Amino acid sequence: MEFIEEYKRLLEDESFKGWKESNKPCYLSHGFIMRGTDVWQIGFYDPDNDNMTAFNMGATIDRLPAEEVFKKDGSVKMLDLKKVSLSSIDAEKIGDSIISEKYPGEKVIKKILIVQNLPDFEDVWNMTFVLASMKALNIKLDAASGKVLHDHLSSLFEFGKKE
Nearest to 79 by CA among 116, 49, 44: 116
Does the structure show a pLDDT above 90 at 120?
no
How far, CA to CA in Å, does 12 sit from each of 8, 17, 34, 37, 108? Answer: 7, 7, 24, 23, 35
d(CA 68, CA 161): 20
Q: In the prediction, which pLDDT does 72 show?
A: 67
Reported as a single tens digit per residue, the pLDDT across 4-29 is 999 999 999 999 999 999 999 999 99
Does the structure show a pLDDT above 60 at 160?
no
Length of the chain: 163
Fold adopted by 82-155: Nuclear Transport Factor 2; Chain: A, (3.10.450)
Reported as a single tens digit per residue, the pLDDT across 131-156 is 999 999 999 999 999 999 999 999 98
* Domain spans, the chain: 3-78, 82-155
The distance from CA 88 to its chain's CA centroid, rounded to whole angstroms, is: 10
Reported as a single tens digit per residue, the pLDDT across 51-109 is 999 999 999 999 999 998 876 667 799 999 999 999 999 999 999 999 999 999 999 99
Does the structure show a pLDDT above 60 at 159?
no
Angle at which helices 3-12 and 14-22 cross, to 10°: 80
d(CA 76, CA 45): 7
Reported as a single tens digit per residue, the pLDDT across 24-52 is 999 999 999 999 888 999 999 999 999 99
Q: In the prediction, which pLDDT does 33 show?
A: 97
